[in-house]
Chains A and B, each alone.
Chain A
Amino acid sequence: MNTFEGCPGSKMQDLRKKEETKGDESGKRESQLGQWPIQLHLVSPMAPYYQKRDVLLSADCVAYTVGDFHKDYLKGKSIAIACPKLDEGQDVYVEKIKSLIDDAKINTLTVMTMQVPCCAGLVAIARQALESAKRKIPIKSIVVSLQGDILSEDWV
């Protein structure tokens, strides 16, 4: 089934489960999203929902991978999403995150990425922004496996 060799980020993998998962399917979860837009090129650091908040910077694929993304990671935070592999104009990303730190005076930044190597670029962008910012804030990096498990959770 693994037809593509090379880049682990685009290598084909069949993650379908052999048996149906027996999770609780009853009830309905509300979305924890409290803003629009969410794409990093589209958001403004001056938006009220970023001011002094805990912000989640998530790689695009993360929300599709982590089953309880809204409940466990988005709840109580403002968000921005980006893809460090495919997005263009990533120097703008550095400036935007820097502005979130210095101008929006965000409280913390949590960077969620996939385990594939190219995704680490998002942490590098956040780190670069922090280094160039006047303010210093805690940054946490959470790495997610292709199966949606949390592989690591570390302060940068």
Chain B
Amino acid sequence: MEEYLNKGIKDVISRFPKVADILNEYNIGCVPCSVGSCLLKDIVQIHNLSSEDEEALMTKIAKVIYPDRGIKMPKIQRKTQPKSREIKYSPPIKKLVDEHALIKKWLVLIPAVINDLNIETEDGRKLIYDGVYFIRSYADKFHHAKEEDILFKYFDENLDIIKSMHEDHETGRGHVKAIIEALERKDKKALIEHLNGYKELLMGHIKKEDDILYPWMDRGLSLQQVGELFSKFNEAEEKIGKEVVERCERFVKGAEEKLLKKQKEEEKT
């Protein structure tokens, strides 16, 4: 049984596809993960399952792997014990979650942006360029840089869960580059494809971080590290400049008002 606990989850799922359904049952979204090399034994710890859920999950998986034998999965040794399923973020992690809220406000506007897309006019192109400025300055240079240059350094960056986050950031940068290129070529189809691609990627990425990665990280951070992170995040905020953050906040608010107003007008007619 130890053999499977030390296997990457993608390997386990490809040999035993029913394991995917069991994981989904416990809201463990390994199936669509782009990396999938987290070890089966690490998944329990990362997802902070209760002892009862852990036992039930492991029994179900053992039955799939050894249907004819009454083998029980050994209990996973955890570095930290689950306190409760309620998520309480530490102050530095809360800052990142709050930044996600602003990024999501822009992401949910993307379908309306696409619906209203007019790359022939200056105004139409400006909205996309401003959106890209927001993504590059706020989501990437400010938010993702805080993760990559500060937060992730407190953990083993060879862990698959962190590699997977780095990979999402890179894929996101690829979409943004493609958005600009499509806009310059006036290629509406490619532009829509990459705007949607970015939205889908980031929505999933944010959910993984808010629900899984951050709570797992918070459980592993000492009080001293929480204080250090808070202070380093404050320095990062000062470094990028208040005016850049405020400009990004203004952009989202303005885009929301403009697109929602348009939507209401269309509904009336």
- Of residues B94, B226, B227, B231, which shows the largest number of chain A Cβ atoms within 10 Å of its Cβ? B227
Residue of A nearest to B94 (CB): A155
Chain A residues with CB under 8 A of B251:
none
Interface magnitude class on chain A: 10 to 19
Known: A136-B230, A136-B234, A138-B230. A108 touches B92 (CB 8 A): no
CA distance A151 to B255 in the complex (A): 45
Contact, CB under 8 Å: B88 / A108: no
The 8 A CB mask of B74-98 against A (1 = contact, 0 = none) is 0000000000000011111010000
Q: Per a CB cutoff under 8 Å, which of B89, B223, B231 touches A140?
A: B223
Contact, CB under 8 Å: A137 / B231: yes
Total number of B residues with any Cβ neighbor in A under 8 Å: 14
Contact, CB under 8 Å: B231 / A154: no
Contact, CB under 8 Å: B88 / A138: no
Chain A residues with CB under 8 A of B234:
136
Nearest-neighbour CB distance to chain A for B85, whole angstroms, equals 16
Chain B residues with CB under 8 A of A154:
88
Contact, CB under 8 Å: B227 / A110: no
Q: Per a CB cutoff under 8 Å, which of B90, B224, B228, B231 touches A155?
A: B90
Cβ of A107 within 8 Å of any chain B Cβ, yes or no, is: yes
CA distance A85 to B91 in the complex (A): 29
Chain B residues with CB under 8 A of A137:
227, 230-231
Nearest-neighbour CB distance to chain A for B217, whole angstroms, equals 15
Enumerate A115-139 residues with CB–CB distance to B below 8 Å: 136-138
Cβ of A148 within 8 Å of any chain B Cβ, yes or no, is: no
Known: A54-B223, A76-B224, A140-B223. A107 touches B231 (CB 8 A): yes
11 residue pairs of the A-B complex, CB under 8 angstroms, read: A107-B224, A108-B223, A108-B224, A108-B227, A110-B223, A136-B230, A137-B227, A138-B92, A138-B227, A140-B223, A155-B89
